[in-house]
Chain A
C-alpha cells in the first residue's frame, strides 16, 4: 500500500465510489446523471482519470445506452461499470438480464430514491425486490452488496468487480440516498493498475478482443434458440448461483449474543437500528442487530440459527416491506417476524424504530 492510499479523507459515499473505481483499475464508466448519485459522474469528470490510468468516463445519452455500453465493454473483458438511481436502474433492467444471460461481468450501482415512478429524490430501499429477485426477465440472480457507510461504498466498489469477474455475472451495489450523500471518514483502496490487453486475453479467454490463429472465434450473446442448449446454459447459471450462495454470504452482527429481539436491516436503516439498539439497551431491552451485507446471497442460514434463541425479529426498511419476506422464509414460522417501515423518502428515526419494537413485541 502506498502512503497516499492510507490517508484518511472526508467525502460523500458517491465520491468514494468514483475514487475507488479509478483506484481498482476500472477501464470504463458509462452513466447518466440523476439525483441522488450525480456526484459519481461529476467526481470522475473532476478526477479526469483518462489522463492518468487511461480509464474512459462517458456521459451516455440515457441509462439504456449506459448499460449497453457496459455490456459491450464487458464483452471485451474490460472492468466497466454504470451507476444510477431507481428510475434509471429500472431502464437498465433489460441490459442486466442480457448480461446475466451472456455471462458478462460488470458493476451496477443503484443509489435508491423513493418510487414508484419518478417518485422523490429522497432516500428509499424499495428496490430490494428488483435487485435481489431479478428486475429483468429470466431465471437470473446477481450478487447484491448493501453498503452502510462511506467506507463500504469504496470497499464494495472493489469487491463488486472481484465478484463480477469471479462468477462472470453482473453485480450490484444497492445503496440509498443517505449513504450516497453523507460525508464520513474513508480510507481509499490502494491503486491497482488497469489490466493490459495481454492480461485480459489470459484471464478472460472468452473476451472478444480479436481472434488469434490458435482458437475459434469468441462469440458473446444471450440468444440460444435450441431449447436443450438453453436449458444447459440455465443449469450452468443456477449451479453458479448455488456456488455464490455457498461462498459469498456476508453479514454483520451487533449485540446479537444475548439478544431477545433482533432488528434486521441493511444500509442506512442498519445504522438507524444500531442506534435503536443503543437506546433499547439503555432501557434494559435486550436488542441486537443483524445487518445483511450481501442481499443476494442472503444470510438465511444465520437468521434461522438466531431464530432458535430469540423471541422475535423486526425487519426495518425504507419500503412497504420487501426484505421481511426473506427473513420470514429463513425463520420459517418458528418465532414472530414483524415489519416496520416508512416510504416516499422518509427515514425512520432511531426512537421511532425502538417504539415500533415495543409496540410489536412488548
Chain B
C-alpha cells in the first residue's frame, strides 16, 4: 500500500506539523515514509504545503503531481490541488473563508469545518489535529495509537501535558467531518 498525500494551507495553520505527525505515525508502524515541505517564503505567511508519502515499499519520488489524498485549508490550495487528486481519490477541505467550493465528481470530497469549530471552542491551536482526525475517519491509513506515539515524538517533552487535548481534537475531527456533495 502506498498513500500519497498533499497538505496545504496558510503558513501557521500547522500543515507542516500535521504532515510530520503523519510521517512519524507511519514510522511507528514500520512503513517507509517521506516528508517534503515547501521551505520557501511560504513558511513565513503565504501558502505552505507538505507532501507526505507512506508506503510498504521503497519510496521513489518525494515530489509528486498526482495525489491519493489532498487536504486543503485555503482557497488557493483548493484551486491548485483539486485538479491533482487522482480519479477515485480523496479531497478534504476546511470551508473557512472559501467562496469557490470543490467541483469534481470523480473523487470523494469531504468538508470539515475545523477552523470554525476550533475558534468557537477556544482551541485554535488544535485545528490541524481536528483535521487529522477527520482524515483518519475517512482514510484510516494509520492507527490512532500510532498517531499518539508519533505526536509524542514530535512534541518536546515540556508540551507532553497537551497530549490528551490533541487526542480529544482527533476524536472531534472524526465526528466533525462530513461528506460533501458537489
In this assembly, does B63 line the interface, its C-beta being within 8 Å of a C-beta of chain A? yes
Is A181 located at the chain interface by the 8 A CB criterion? yes
- Bound form: Cα–Cα A122–B41 in Å: 10
Interface residue ranges, B against A (CB under 8 Å): 20, 23-24, 27, 32-37, 39-40, 59-66, 153
Ordered by A's residue number, 18 sampled pairs between the chains whose C-beta atoms are within 8 Å are A35-B39, A181-B36, A182-B37, A182-B62, A183-B23, A183-B34, A184-B35, A184-B59, A184-B62, A268-B62, A271-B61, A274-B60, A274-B61, A275-B64, A349-B61, A350-B63, A350-B64, A351-B66
Is A178 within 8 A of B63, CB to CB? Answer: yes
Report A321-362 residues with CB < 8 Å from chain B CB. 347, 349-352
Contact A185 B27 (CB under 8 A): yes
Q: A121-B39, A351-B65 are in contact. List 15 more A-B contacts (CB 8 A).
A: A8-B27, A10-B33, A10-B153, A35-B39, A178-B63, A181-B36, A181-B37, A182-B34, A183-B36, A184-B34, A185-B27, A272-B63, A275-B64, A349-B65, A350-B64
Residues of A near B24 (CB, < 8 A) are: 10
Contact B65 A178 (CB under 8 A): no
- The docked-state distance in angstroms from the alpha carbon of A198 to that of B66 is 57
Nearest-Cβ distance from residue B59 to partner chain A, whole angstroms: 8
A274 to B23, CA, bound (A): 21
In the complex, which residue of chain A has the Cβ closest to the Cβ of B84?
A: A349
Chain B nearest CB: distance from A254 CB in Å?
9
Residue in contact with B61 in the complex, picked from A121, A183, A185, A272, CB distance below 8 Å:
A272
**What are the residues of chain B within 8 A of A350 when measuring CB–CB?**
60-61, 63-65
B39–A36 CB distance below 8 A? yes
CA distance A183 to B19 in the complex (A): 11
Bound Cα distance A185, B60 (Å) = 13
B59 contacts which chain A residues (CB < 8 A)? 184
A255 CA to B23 CA, complexed, in Å = 28
Q: Give the Cβ gap from B107 to chain A, nearest Cβ, in Å.
A: 18
- Closest Cβ–Cβ distance, residue A187 to chain B (whole Å): 12
Q: Is A48 an interface residue (CB 8 A)?
A: no
Q: Chain A residues near B37 (CB, 8 Å)?
A: 181-182
Q: How far is the CA of A268 from the CA of B65 in the complex (A)?
A: 15
List of A residues within 8 angstroms of B61 by Cβ: 271-272, 274-276, 349-350
Q: How far is the CB of A90 from chain B (nearest CB, A)?
A: 21
Within 8 Å of chain B (Cβ to Cβ): is A260? no
Contact A183 B39 (CB under 8 A): no
Cβ of B33 and Cβ of A177 under 8 Å apart?
no
Provide the residues of chain B in CB contact with A10, threshold 8 Å.
23-24, 27, 33, 35, 153
Q: Is the CB of B60 within 8 A of A278?
A: yes
